[in-house]
Amino acid sequence: MSILAHPFLQHAFLAGTLIAAACGVAGYFLVLRAQVFTGDALSHVAFTGALAALVAGIDLRLGLFAATIGVAAGIGLLGRRGRADDVVIGNVFAWILGLGVFFLTLFTTARSSSNGTAGTSVLFGSIFGLSARDAVVAAAVGGGIIVAMAAIARPLLFASVDESVAAARGVPVRLLGVGFLALVGAAAAEATQAVGALLLLGLLAAPAATALLLTARPYLGLVISAGLGVAEIWAGLALAYAAPSLPPSFAIIAVATAAYLAAYGGYRIRRGRRARRGKRSHLASSAADFRVTAAGARAGLSAPALPRRGPAQASRSAQASRSAPGGPARARHNGPMAGPAPQGAEPR
Amino acid sequence: MINPAFSWNIVDDIRTMWAYPFMVNAFRAGAVVAVVAGVMGWFMVLRRQTFAGHTLALSAFPGAAGATLIGIAASYGYFAFCTAAAAVIALATRGRAAGPGSSRVSESALTGIVQAFTLACGLLFVALYHGFLNGTTALLFGSFLGITSSQVALLAATAAAVLAILAAIGRPLLFASVDPDVAAARGVPARALSVAFLVLLGAAVAETAQITGALLVFALLVMPAAAAQRLTARPAVSLLLTVVIGFLVTWAGLTAAFYSPYPIGFWVTSFAFAVYLAAQAAPVLLRRARRPTFLAGAPA
């Protein structure tokens, strides 16, 4: 393995592995809880935090972590039950990004032009530029995020798939939501060092969405998401090494996108086959938020506990989840329905 | 570089700025962009499609970078990438209305993946086109310098087209946005409307990005609309208010950027955010002021 003979690649692989695993775990819940837009917001906050730190002349990572964790926790506290409105999030992060431009101007005019690429490397990452120390710190923080996520995984999963029942059972839903977002903030700050502020959403969303397409079992999905993230970052690094004209961040995101496309294609083919077997009537009769896949119905798993449900269905699903001790069975609810799907809840 | 001082004599200031042809073009372009972004953003906020809008906004960056790489005018790249991204998102999500309560978990993930991938493409184009790094910042964060008259004419023509199409589909789109179920039951083609809207939004974003840069388009889309919708619930009034706010914010941002060393993106977002905060606070304050003050006489 001559590829691992270079110290910069060793550092990239060490940091990249744990960063990808942490992002895979955090991203899985992010996608499950329909909070991908929050991850998007954090990517822009990361840029501002890093540049503010550069302007202040302190360690870039300090600003990065302070900004992402602070804003993530703030978003969690703002919204009811730890979920803020997308429009509010959009307004806030658009302005924070404006502040980032301000810091970028301050930085580029105050320092000599030799450091003019700092803004670009914050935006698009420089995983090949990590020093041994950076890599060890990034790996340690990544490991910490994974351990913390594992510790809260069970109650968080419960709160994610059925918030009201979880709250009724005494799960601290709000605290979990805020704590989870803080962990996502930390993961976003980590990912910024690998693929940059603009591309970190790919590391958060792509492995998780792929895993959700591959399996409906939550813990298996969590492991697949983390594993996919690691495999994608390895493949991306190898690709960037083999073809030096490809930036590593592009290679990583391209591999992740390709993996998602493959999983999506496979999922559509499987769905199509199932539909041809005459299960369409069953699908059409169930409500949009209660899509039970034919396979799940056959296996007797009739409790599709999905996030984001109107109050009318909450009680029904409460009974369902009590009758099915296996918990959230199928969290699969994408792809087109035949005909206009009835909406679960009244918007606003 | 010019560095004139700002005086509080507004007329003189404007005369100073408008002595430069590029500033006149910048103000013209800013006005066009503010109107288009405001109107499209109003529907985007109403439909709660901020994430899709933001993703379209960001796909302006690879568009411009790719156009520069293959050596054509950046405008074509903007329009090609933004409308293509809009089509991908619209077709992949099959036009289901993205309101809270609809199951869109993997839709948002898909949008996120589209966003990350288009930005990664932008990075690739920049990397392949060596020596482009200084231009990257301008593409991302905008620049009002060097807008030509022909660019303004192109902007105005596209804006007219976008607004004309929007005017044609405006009524059913409003219906489908406010109540997708009832609209679908009445035979409004909600899915086709949703696709058409996203493609229009892509075109509007492609326009706006040429002035504000890819990263800050979103501010012009979301902030004036969010502020206006908070202030009034009447569609026509809030649409008008959105355009007015967007227009004022853009011109104020241009003026501030002209008279200060800081970039236009910072000023436009800051002014717009200030308006948004004021709009958030205003109804609360008004309600508090109107409340009967039967305890007013009591000692504090």
Q: Cα(A45)–Cα(A197) distance, rounded to whole angstroms?
A: 8
SS3 B49: coil
Q: Say whether A39 and B184 touch across the interface (CB within 8 A).
A: no
Domains of chain B with bracketed CATH: 10-290 (1.10.3470.10)
The dihedral built from the CA positions of residue B17, B19, B24 and B25, taken in this order, carries a sign that is: negative
Domain boundary assignment for chain A: 2-201, 286-330
Any B CB within 8 A of A312 CB: no
| A249: nearest CA partner in chain B | B120
Q: What Å distances lie between residue A240 and A195, A206, A235, A254, B263, CA to CA?
A: 13, 19, 9, 11, 34
Q: Cα(B210)–Cα(B295) distance, rounded to whole angstroms?
A: 55
Which of A40, A116, A344 is facing B103, going by the closest CB pair?
A344
Residue A50 distance to chain B (closest CA, Å): 16
222-281 in chain A: CB under 8 A from chain B: 245-247, 249-250, 253-254, 256-257, 260
A115 pLDDT tier (thresholds 50, 70, 90): low
A238 pLDDT tier (thresholds 50, 70, 90): very high
128-187 in chain A: CB under 8 A from chain B: none
Angle ∠(B102,A39,A32) on CA atoms, nearest 5: 45
Q: Say whether A202 and B191 touch across the interface (CB within 8 A).
A: no
Q: Cα(A261)–Cα(A213) distance, rounded to whole angstroms?
A: 10
Residues of A in Cβ contact (< 8 Å) with B127: 245-247, 250
Q: Say whether A90 and B218 touch across the interface (CB within 8 A).
A: yes
Q: Cα(B44)–Cα(B46) distance, rounded to whole angstroms?
A: 5
Report whether B28 contacts B157 (CB < 8 A): no
Interface test with A, best of B119, B130, B249 (most A CBs within 10 A): B119
pLDDT at B166 over 80: yes
Q: Cα(A181)–Cα(A118) distance, rounded to whole angstroms?
A: 27
Residues of B in Cβ contact (< 8 Å) with A286: none
Instruction: Tell me the DSSP string of B74-142.
Output: HHHHHHHHHHHHHHHHHHHHTT----BTB--HHHHHHHHHHHHHHHHHHHHHHHHSTT-HHHHHHHHH-
Any B CB within 8 A of A87 CB: yes
Q: Say whether B99 and A347 touch across the interface (CB within 8 A).
A: yes
Q: Say whether B216 and A97 touch across the interface (CB within 8 A).
A: yes
Residues in chain B: 300
Tokens of A51: 């540049």
pLDDT digits (tens, 9 = 90+) for A7-21: 888 889 999 999 999
Report whether A161 contacts A331 (CB < 8 A): yes
Residues contacting B288, CB < 8 A, separation 6+: none
Q: Cα(A164)–Cα(A171) distance, rounded to whole angstroms?
A: 10
- State the average pLDDT over residues A246-255: 92
pLDDT digits (tens, 9 = 90+) for A307-322: 443 344 444 444 444 3
B128-154 per-residue burial string, b: 16 or more CB within 10 A, e: under 16: ebeeeeebbbebbbbbbeebeeebbeb
A2-201: CATH topology is ABC transporter involved in vitamin B12 uptake, BtuC (1.10.3470)
Residues of A in Cβ contact (< 8 Å) with B58: 198
Report whether A201 contacts B108 (CB < 8 A): no
Residue ranges of E strands in B222-297: none
The dihedral built from the CA positions of residue A186, B50, B27 and B242, taken in this order, carries a sign that is: negative
pLDDT digits (tens, 9 = 90+) for A75-105: 888 766 545 678 888 888 899 988 988 998 8
In the chain, the amino acid numbered A325 is: P
Q: Say whether A120 and B134 touch across the interface (CB within 8 A).
A: no
Q: Say whether A307 and B105 touch across the interface (CB within 8 A).
A: yes
Percentage with pLDDT > 70 across chain B: 88
